Amino acid sequence: MNYPMVKILMLKDWYLQRWIILATFAGGLASLGIIAIGSDGAFFIGLLLLITALVALSGQLAMSAIVGERKEQTLPFVMSLPISYREYTTSKIVGNLLIFVVPWAVMAIGSFALLAFSPKSQGLIPYTAIMATEILVNACLVASVAVITEAQSWTIAAIILGNIGLNGIGYLVAHVNGVARWMWGSSIHWSPAAYALLITEFAIIGLMIGFTFFTQSRKKDFL
């Protein structure tokens, strides 16, 4: 593994995406501020803005840092460097997920903190953790599709599918008995159902990343 080259490619993506990263941080902090107001309306508006900021970041990263290299004909130059398909895939998957995970983690921790300091909202913490992880699953899906297909149409389809799925899964999780029963309580309760959902989400992330590397390893031509 050519770690120095992988690091350079990852830092290149960080540099090129610096403005969208800063914009996501700004949007996320504004969303947390709205949630902190405490009213039901502020909670739902802030939550919507928070999810929108993270979904927009994952889509922008996939379209610009991955699909954009194919569209703008910079991929041939990248592949002319002393780098293998495995190292290129690593730089894209790991690099883009790290870009996403930093603001995602800050916003998730901020959300947990707000809920923890509100005696009437602590029961929402397990549900919030499940949905925050689902947003990460969505980001992995978009990144994997972008790396495998390098096609704008397929990546847009993954973004749309992920957004629809996020809403549907949010509804379904909120009606799982082991989660819904404790959501509106004044204390945190981690049920077996909540643990099972989180484990399933992280397993799906691992499978998607593994499938991406497997598919890339079978490609005969990156150009």
The type of residue at 95 is G
Domain that holds residue 155: 3-217
- Higher pLDDT pick, 121 / 63: 63
Q: Confidence band (pLDDT; 50, 70, 90) for 202?
A: very high
- Higher pLDDT pick, 218 / 160: 160
Span 11-34, average pLDDT? 80
SS3 content of the chain, % helix, strand, coil (to 5): 85, 0, 15
Rounded to the nearest 5 degrees, what angle is found at the Cα of 27, between the Cα atoms of 22 and 33?
A: 125
Mean pLDDT of all residues in the chain? 80
* Whether 66 contacts 74, CB under 8 Å: no
Q: What is the per-residue pLDDT for 151?
A: 81
Helices (H) and strands (E) in the chain, counts: 10, 0
Q: What is the per-residue pLDDT for 198?
A: 92
Examine residue 223 and state whether it is found in any structural domain, yes or no. no
* Residue 197 pLDDT exceeds 70: yes
* Residue 206 pLDDT exceeds 90: yes
Tally of domains within the chain:
1
pLDDT in tens, 122-153: 778 888 889 889 999 999 999 889 888 878 88
Q: What is the per-residue pLDDT for 195?
A: 92
Name the token pair of 196.
């099972």
Examine residue 49 and state whether it is found in any structural domain, yes or no. yes
CB atoms within 10 A of CB 64: 18
* Whether 193 contacts 125, CB under 8 Å: no
First-residue to last-residue Cα distance in the chain: 21
- Rounded CA-CA distance 209/126 in Å is 25
Examine residue 222 and state whether it is found in any structural domain, yes or no. no
Give this prediction's pTM.
Answer: 0.84
* Whether 216 contacts 89, CB under 8 Å: yes
- Rounded CA-CA distance 51/28 in Å is 9
Alpha-helical segments (H) within the chain: 3-16, 18-35, 40-61, 68-71, 75-79, 85-116, 125-149, 152-174, 177-183, 192-217
Rounded to the nearest 5 degrees, what angle is found at the Cα of 16, between the Cα atoms of 56 and 156?
A: 35
Span 208-220, average pLDDT? 82
- Rounded CA-CA distance 209/146 in Å is 12
Q: What is the per-residue pLDDT for 223?
A: 54
For the chain, the C-alpha Rg in angstroms (whole number) is: 19
Span 102-118, average pLDDT? 84
pLDDT in tens, 42-66: 677 777 788 888 888 888 888 877 7
Give residue 84's region: left, alpha or beta (phi > 0; psi -120 to 50).
Answer: beta
- Rounded CA-CA distance 48/200 in Å is 24
* Whether 125 contacts 183, CB under 8 Å: no
Examine residue 38 and state whether it is found in any structural domain, yes or no. yes
- Eight-state DSSP code of residue 220: S
Top-confidence range, 2-16, 18-32, 191-205 = 191-205
